[in-house]
Amino acid sequence: MENNKNEVLLRVEHLSQHFGKLKAVNDVSFDIKKGEVFGLVGESGCGKTTTGRSIIRIYDITGGSIYFKDQRICAGTLEYKEAIDNIKKETKDAIKALEQEIAENPELKSDKEALIKAKKEECDRVIAENRKLIKEAKFDHKNSDKEYSKNCVKEVEAKFAKLFEEAKNNPEETALLKKKYKDELRVAKNTKLVTNIQMIFQDSIAALNPRMTVREIIAEGLVINGIKDKEYIDEKVYEILELVGLVREHAGRYPHEFSGGQRQRIGIARSVIMNPDLLIADEPISALDVSIQAQIINLMNELRERLGLTILFIAHDLSVVKYFSDRIGVMYYGNMVELAETDELFAHPLHPYTRSLLSAIPLPDPHAEKKRTRIVYNALAEHDYSVDKPSMREILPGHFVYCNDAEEANYKKELGL
């Protein structure tokens, strides 16, 4: 496929993930373009990991939809259930009011009864429509793997239809193609979404199984996917080890024989061996020594270029994502509060929470560092959302801030718009 710079690989729409009363992620939307590194930042507990885990379908998400390569792979039902509850309540209130009018003015009875009937019909229509959407969401969520592999099969079929056509006067070439076609078709039929979206887990360094050799750890995904050819597996493991800056001799050793940085390389190797399109890296360097952090960032940058990876990079401070991300989304308590291209976010941070995160970054210049003051963000003192309600607004092209009308006007004034 032609590499279109603006091709969206992952689209998260109104994602909500609630755990009982706790809204760990609440109505979060963003998309990630092919080849892009998207940084997701925010303090501990704001919902970054939950967002990542929702994308790889660890949860039945509460609300919203997630699309991968234009296919809906996760779907919640919150918004449809809310729509049903709302229309029921609205209809009930409206009918009550109409009945009251009839009681007061009996001569209006027939007119008002017609209105009541219309209200009931409208309510039934909305309920039926949303029940259908709930059913579709459940279907998409449950069948996304099957549908995904169907799409992969279609892609292979289209690709080979063209190749067969080109080789139609060449029997030798056609025979060769037939074999290739069979192989690729088998792979496509077995393709699972989970192998195309890989996640490096937050605690992955600690989580490497101490009883497994590095070879076994790295090859696990291949084995789970039904690959049995030992020679192929070994070759692949060696290739990946070298790719992540380790050596093939490491394959027979155990995790405890490695440093933190090396273990993280093993974790990365284990994710990229599946040749994923999207890599979700959940704080891949936060457990590492500062001196090692840059090495791992460099490695990820290298892999991104060599393997054409798209990365969702999760971190809790902005300094880490600054040099690595094309765009950054800032989360606060389950909500996305600001989203912009990296340079734009650093040049014009608008949301007070983003400003507070920026003020936490130590400055390289000692004079400036001495004068640096930390801005503390206090949501309650900062915003009055009692009447003027907030939503995500595009203040500059591609620069979104969660704010209300009054704040939007202020931000625009600050920017001289």
Ligand X SMILES: Nc1ncnc2c1ncn2[C@@H]1O[C@H](COP(=O)(O)OP(=O)(O)OP(=O)(O)O)[C@@H](O)[C@H]1O
Binding site for Mg ion (CB under 5 A): 49, 202
The alpha-helical segments, DSSP class H, found in 167-192 are 171-190
Q: Residue 26, interface with ligand X (CB under 6 A)?
A: no
Question: What's the closest the beta carbon of residue 282 comes to Mg ion, in angstroms?
Answer: 6
Q: Tell me the C-alpha distance between 86 and 140, whole Å.
A: 25
Residue type, 322: K
Q: What are phi and psi of 47, to 5 degrees?
A: 110, 15
Residue nearest to Mg ion (CB): 49
Q: Tell me the C-alpha distance between 223 and 374, whole Å.
A: 50
Question: What's the closest the beta carbon of residue 181 comes to Mg ion, in angstroms?
Answer: 43
Q: Tell me the C-alpha distance between 21 and 175, whole Å.
A: 61
Q: Which residue carries 């401070």 as its tokens?
A: 317
Question: What's the closest the beta carbon of residue 48 comes to ligand X, in angstroms?
Answer: 4
Q: Residue 18, interface with ligand X (CB under 6 A)?
A: no
Question: What's the closest the beta carbon of residue 203 comes to ligand X, in angstroms?
Answer: 9
Q: Residue 21, interface with ligand X (CB under 6 A)?
A: no
> How many amino acids of this chain bind ligand X (CB under 6 A)?
13
* Close Cβ partners of 255 (under 8 Å, ≥ 6 residues apart): 208, 209, 210, 212, 214, 217, 263, 266
Retrieve residue 390's tokens. Answer: 């907030």
Q: Residue 335, interface with ligand X (CB under 6 A)?
A: no
Retrieve residue 49's tokens. Answer: 């990991």
Q: Tell me the C-alpha distance between 296 and 22, whole Å.
A: 34
**Of 45 and 398, CB closest to ligand X:** 45
Q: Tell me the C-alpha distance between 70 and 232, whole Å.
A: 32
Piece of 39-47, 170-178, 190-198, 292-300 that binds ligand X (CB under 6 A): 39-47
Is residue 25 within 8 A of residue 16, CB to CB? The reply is: yes
The listed partner (ligand X, Mg ion, none) that binds 328, CB under 5 to 8 Å by sort, is: none
DSSP state of 210: T
| CA 146 to chain centroid | 20
Question: Strand 278-282 vs strand 197-200: parallel, antiparallel, or unpaired?
Answer: parallel
Q: Residue 202, interface with ligand X (CB under 6 A)?
A: yes
Question: What's the closest the beta carbon of residue 403 comes to Mg ion, in angstroms?
Answer: 26
Question: What's the closest the beta carbon of residue 48 comes to Mg ion, in angstroms?
Answer: 5
Retrieve residue 277's tokens. Answer: 């399109």
- Binder to ligand X among 19, 139, 232, 323 (CB under 6 A)? 19
Retrieve residue 347's tokens. Answer: 């040049």
**Of 49 and 335, CB closest to ligand X:** 49
Count of CB atoms situated within 10 Å of the CB of 192: 16
Site mask for ligand X (CB under 6 A), range 154-193, x = bound: ----------------------------------------
The footprint of ligand X on residues 344-403 (CB under 6 A) is: none
The closest alpha carbon to 185, from 155, 207, 146, belongs to 155
The listed partner (ligand X, Mg ion, none) that binds 354, CB under 5 to 8 Å by sort, is: none
Question: What's the closest the beta carbon of residue 16 comes to ligand X, in angstroms?
Answer: 12
**Of 191 and 325, CB closest to ligand X:** 325
**Of 148 and 313, CB closest to Mg ion:** 313
Q: With 0-12 CB in 10 A as exposed, 13-18 as middle and 19+ as buried, what is 132? A: exposed
Q: Tell me the C-alpha distance between 183 and 268, whole Å.
A: 27
The listed partner (Mg ion, ligand X, none) that binds 316, CB under 5 to 8 Å by sort, is: ligand X
Q: Tell me the C-alpha distance between 158 and 185, whole Å.
A: 11
Question: What's the closest the beta carbon of residue 379 comes to ligand X, in angstroms?
Answer: 15
The footprint of ligand X on residues 49-88 (CB under 6 A) is: 49-50
Piece of 16-24, 111-119, 292-300, 401-409 that binds ligand X (CB under 6 A): 16-24
Question: What's the closest the beta carbon of residue 53 comes to ligand X, in angstroms?
Answer: 7
- Binder to ligand X among 34, 35, 39, 48 (CB under 6 A)? 48
Site mask for ligand X (CB under 6 A), range 306-325, x = bound: ----------x---------
Binding residues (CB under 6 A) for ligand X: these are: 19, 22, 24, 42, 44-50, 202, 316
